[in-house]
Amino acid sequence: GSPKSGKREPRYEMRVLVVNAGSSTLKLSVLDGDVLVQSESFPLSIKDECPVLPDEEAVREFLSGLGNLPKERYGTSHGNPWGIDACGHRVVHGGLIFNGPAVIDEQKRKEIVGLTALAPLHQQASLRGLALTSNLMPGIPEVACFDTAFHLSMPEISYTYALPESWRSRWPLRKFGFHGLSHSWAADQALRLTGLSPSSARVITCHLGAGSSLAAVKGGNSIDTTMGFTPLDGLVMSTRSGSVDPGLLLWLLQQEGISPEAIAQGLEHESGLLGLSGSGDTRQVIEAEAGGDRRAHLALGVYVHRLQSAIASMAASLGGTDLLVFTGGVGEGSPEVRSRACENLAFMGIEIDETANLAALGDTEITGAASMVRIFVIESREDLQIARQTRAALGS
């Protein structure tokens, strides 16, 4: 028989509230499909070594800006007036349990709590974000998206530490890697822009911000990264040391007047660019160097030296490089850092177009004329990656 006639029901993209709780900020974003409706960042304070998130009223005020919505369109079954269909949360550490996004239930919440010791501040912030939205919108589907999940594809030779077997069998002492949501987005977006095959293209992604890491991506998977068991490893960062000789730390522990807590505080909050120059803000350090500040000059030199070495290391893991991608607050916002990072890398076929580099805004190619490696600046869209993973986990 002939198909039934009648009015066709409109199809709408799922409206997702993305909750990105970091160590110093909580960023809320609302996305209709891939369209960002609105977003806002809230500074987080720390009390008794725990992050303090904004209260429900502040979040209600943020959501009130969404305006009135047709009742038939969004989330009416969950009874929230903002039409939120689902909530996607960035969770830093998924350990060996979570290799992709997970719909939250009581068991999974307990498993996330059980991983808190691996990333205390970040994990507590994520858990408090979960509690906040659960209280505000009870019954709404919630999905956890993990920064470590992307790196669980690393081969054994990349993630294994050469430590006693008795230690490794007792504890999960391995390289986990972080910033996975950002690395996966940046690599995928650069591949979309170039049309290169994801199965064969060799991509180095540079997430540079207050926290920084590199990833080597091949076949759409992470095969190496600079951060390790914790986010302290690897590159020089805003206030974090990056890689330090473990023997140096053992020596410090034997000295009078310094405790393990003081060492942890120093490595996490008083090192990096801040420890070398007096400022953890890359823009201020560059400005100070231009004014003749010797400490700033040294800080940038150490920062760039470690970054260049890490790029070469990721290239070795990949067996070559087809794409070099910069993302994150510094990666997107600092032409100076991008330019210096590419200095001395001509032997790898890397040459930047300085004119394009200075003008780069959003997703931009900055490849030099003689470069054998294509170079891109990619806008960090963890919010979009989380929203997409949330919809996928819920089967939408």
Q: Is 147 known to be catalytic?
A: yes
* Helix 56-64 / helix 120-136 crossing angle, nearest 10 deg: 60
Alpha-carbon separation of residue 203 from 43, 185, 306 (angstroms):
33, 12, 19
The residue assigned the tokens 């953890």 is 280
User: What gap in Å lies between CA 211 and CA 38, rounded to an integer?
Assistant: 25
User: What gap in Å lies between CA 390 and CA 86, rounded to an integer?
Assistant: 8
Distance in Å from the first CA to the final CA of the chain: 31
Q: Considering 32, 147, 233, 383, which one is annotated as catalytic?
A: 147
Relative to beta strand 202-207, strand 323-327 is parallel
Nearest-10 Cα torsion for 229, 235, 239, 243? 60
Alpha-carbon separation of residue 323 from 230, 231, 315 (angstroms):
27, 24, 10
User: What gap in Å lies between CA 78 and CA 6, rounded to an integer?
Assistant: 28
Helix (H, G, I), strand (E, B) or coil at 262: helix
User: What gap in Å lies between CA 146 and CA 220, rounded to an integer?
Assistant: 17
Q: Which residues are catalytic?
A: 147
